[in-house]
């Protein structure tokens, strides 16, 4: 079984997503160089190996913008790690980059938050991302031979009315596993929060579409009662344990702080569910939760 660890290799990004959970750490650390040479990379990988890890997930920033990403992948492979990365995909439009990196990646998660240029630009502030996507999909198909290919779409105020179209777009382009992740609240992105009661309304049509089209959908960071009968589509049931090392190399919880309220006591899913996002609760309370009886 994988023993998973997540590490940062840099903080540069060519997107500026309006909801970005990493905005503060990107700004604070943007000039920070975490690894200077191959020796430092090899030392890090060896130390992770000695701690018993065998699966390495690269965090960012945008890992593909880092020159050290390829040597990191090569060294991880040399020491027997499986590898995972979440990327905005932009650099995979370049065939040489796709060709050199993708065969070294086992789990590839591509962030796709929209199905039209307008929607993608509004969210990512990257005017070149959408145009490149065609080649991104072609290059992934050509060079990615790993075990997991997934898209991740962050549910937010700008895209939640289009989630089904976005799912269709991703699927039409060859990705048949999709995470729909509820936006993590950071204060500066409060304008993009979607009420849980609104998300609840759109779950059934997406779940039906997935069933009819042989598509794997995983909803992340939503209380199970919001998913209702589709609670088994939650990511939390399937996610493996992992350790996240933050920018200071300290262990951090992968899961966001959650709360179970009195209402949860009445719910038959209370032992499975992780609860309501604490930040959401602080802003809006638990009025939208409807215990499953």
Ligand X SMILES: C[S@@+](CC[C@H](N)C(=O)[O-])C[C@H]1O[C@@H](n2cnc3c(N)ncnc32)[C@H](O)[C@@H]1O
Q: Closest separation between CB of residue 237 and ligand X, Å? A: 18
For ligand X, give the closer residue by CB, 19 or 53. 19
Q: Closest separation between CB of residue 60 and ligand X, Å? A: 4
Handedness of CA 205, 208, 214, 220 (dihedral sign): positive
For ligand X, give the closer residue by CB, 20 or 149. 20
Place of tokens 């269709």: 168
Q: Closest separation between CB of residue 13 and ligand X, Å? A: 5
Q: Among 110, 202, 128, which residue's Cα sits nearest to residue 159?
A: 202
Q: Closest separation between CB of residue 186 and ligand X, Å? A: 6
For ligand X, give the closer residue by CB, 235 or 270. 235
| Cα distances (Å, whole numbers) of residue 95 to 4, 62, 75, 138, 146 | 29, 17, 22, 9, 17
For ligand X, give the closer residue by CB, 21 or 94. 21
For ligand X, give the closer residue by CB, 11 or 267. 11
For ligand X, give the closer residue by CB, 49 or 258. 258
Q: Closest separation between CB of residue 18 and ligand X, Å? A: 9
Q: Closest separation between CB of residue 262 and ligand X, Å? A: 27
Handedness of CA 118, 119, 122, 123 (dihedral sign): negative
Which positions ≥6 away from 212 have C-beta within 8 Å?
none
For ligand X, give the closer residue by CB, 150 or 267. 150
Catalog residues that contact ligand X under the rule CB under 6 A: 13, 15, 17, 19-22, 60, 62, 86-88, 111, 152, 154, 181, 183-184, 189
Here the tokens at position 246 are: 């933050």
| Cα distances (Å, whole numbers) of residue 246 to 6, 10, 240, 289 | 8, 11, 19, 32
Alpha-carbon distance of 259 to 262, in angstroms, equals 10
Alpha-carbon distance of 216 to 35, in angstroms, equals 37
Q: Closest separation between CB of residue 119 and ligand X, Å? A: 14
Give the long-range contacts of residues 282-285, CB within 8 A, separation 24 or more: 283/185, 283/190, 283/193, 284/195, 284/196
């Amino acid at each position: 079984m994988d023993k998973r660890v997540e590490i940062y290799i840099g903080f540069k990004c060519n997107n500026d997503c309006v909801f970005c959970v990493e905005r503060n750490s990107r700004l604070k650390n943007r000039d920070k160089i975490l690894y200077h040479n191959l020796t430092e990379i090899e030392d890090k990988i060896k130390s992770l190996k000695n701690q018993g890890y065998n699966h390495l997930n690269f965090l960012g920033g945008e890992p593909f913008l880092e020159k050290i990403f390829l040597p990191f992948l090569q060294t991880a492979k040399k020491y027997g790690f499986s590898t995972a990365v979440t990327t905005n995909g932009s650099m995979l439009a370049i065939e040489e980059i796709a060709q050199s990196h993708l065969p070294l990646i086992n789990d590839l998660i591509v962030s796709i938050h929209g199905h039209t240029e307008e929607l993608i630009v509004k969210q990512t502030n990257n005017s070149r991302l959408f145009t490149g996507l065609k080649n991104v999909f072609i290059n992934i198909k050509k060079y990615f031979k790993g075990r997991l290919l997934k898209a991740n779409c962050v549910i937010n105020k700008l895209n939640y009315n289009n989630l089904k179209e976005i799912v269709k777009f991703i699927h039409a382009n060859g990705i048949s596993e999709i995470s729909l992740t509820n936006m993590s609240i950071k204060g500066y992105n409060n304008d993009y929060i979607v009420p849980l009661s609104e998300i609840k309304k759109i779950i059934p049509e997406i779940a039906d579409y997935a069933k009819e089209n042989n598509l794997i959908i995983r909803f992340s960071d939503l209380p199970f009662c919001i998913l209702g009968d589709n609670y088994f589509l939650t990511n939390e049931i399937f996610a493996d344990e992992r350790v996240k090392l933050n920018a200071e190399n300290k262990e951090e919880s992968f899961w966001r702080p959650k709360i179970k309220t009195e209402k949860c006591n009445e719910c038959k899913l209370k032992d499975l569910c992780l609860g309501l996002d604490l930040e959401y609760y602080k802003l809006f309370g638990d009025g939208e939760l409807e215990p499953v009886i």
